[in-house]
Amino acid sequence: MKTDPRYKGIVCIIGSAFCFATMNLFLHLAGDLPFWQKGFFRNAIALFFAMAILLKERKKTEIKINKKNIGLLFGRASFGTLGLLCNFYCVDRMNISDASMLNKLAPFFAIILSAFFLKEKAKWYQWGAVVVAFIGSLFIVKPSFGLETVPALIGVLGGFGAGAAYTCVRKLGGMHTPGALIVLFFSAFSVILLGPIVAFTYVPMTAKQWMFLLFTGLAASGGQFLVTAAYTYAPAKEISVYDYSQVVFAAIWGMMFLGQMPDLFSVLGYVIIVSVAIAMYIRTKKDAQKEAKNT
């Protein structure tokens, strides 16, 4: 019996959520370092693993970059780097559960961008979900005219960057681009981009900081490969709800290891965003069942 690709996507995306929540914990524990320096070492480690896996896969399949996927690879790398840096900036300045939830706006951005660029038509309730999710994000952002709002707004921008990156991943997956190549290109792009900046602004690190950044890179590598696999197995509108398990993992890590407790407004924002994601998933599943009966 052949396994439904959607189930594979669900397993992969929950696994990636655990990895990324753990990554944010180690990132925070790495202490007071420039967020771009953390981003550089995070992706340098991911680059090493991507290269090893890609070399292994060369024996099984032809791996090449061509004119059809080069633009999408650059898009995934550019938006992915934007999302990464914004998320790292937020993790250092907010509760890791708040930062994770703002990054989880990515699936809603992915729905919007997929509708425009991949022609995956979203239905009225999916557009409504995007609006409600944005309202929920306001409870986490807590807009004001003060500088305290800046990290949260950057977190929203990071969610957009991640959503755009996932849209590119979805298209690349449809073109049968190997996941290891997607991760390798993204990691190499960000390392090359951030390398000169880190060289001129490098802050010396202790043995403990090196250790936590190593763990950050390992967790990030697992998360990258799993989320890349998830969005190649199924479209965002079918599996994105499971990505919100990252907020649960992040809240647990934050309470256990960092003594962080989200405030009432943030919790309300979580409830709104997760609830609308679950409702959208249930409605999408019902529509899929109806379409299957009619064919």
Amino acid at 84: L
CA–CA distance, 116 with 19 (Å, rounded to integer): 30
Q: What is the pTM of this model?
A: 0.82
Give yes or no for residue 129 having a pLDDT over 90: no
User: Which pLDDT score, from 0 to 100, does residue 1 have?
Assistant: 47
Residue 72 pLDDT level (bands cut at 50, 70, 90): very high
What tens digit of pLDDT does each residue of 251-279 get? 889 989 998 888 888 889 888 888 888 88
C-alpha closest to that of 13 among 212, 171, 215, 235: 235
- Predicted confidence at residue 63, as pLDDT, reads 60
Q: How far is the C-alpha of 137 from the C-alpha of 196, rounded, in Å?
A: 35
Task: Please compute the mean of the pLDDT values over residues 127-140 and round it to a whole number.
Answer: 85
For the chain, the 3-state helix, strand and coil shares in percent, each to the nearest 5, are 85, 0, 15
Nearest to 192 by CA among 68, 82, 44: 44
Residue 247 tokens, joined: 């907020």
Q: For residue 113, which amino acid is it?
A: L
pLDDT score for 116: 79
Does 106 have pLDDT greater than 70? yes
State in Å, rounded, how far the first CA of the chain is from the last one.
21
Burial tier of 1 (Cβ tally within 10 Å: 0-12, 13-18, 19+)? exposed
Round to whole Å and give the CA distance between 62 and 60.
7
- Torsion angle defined by CA atoms of residues 107, 27, 42 and 166, in that order, rounded to the nearest 10 degrees: 0
Please, which pLDDT band fits residue 110 given cuts at 50, 70 and 90? confident
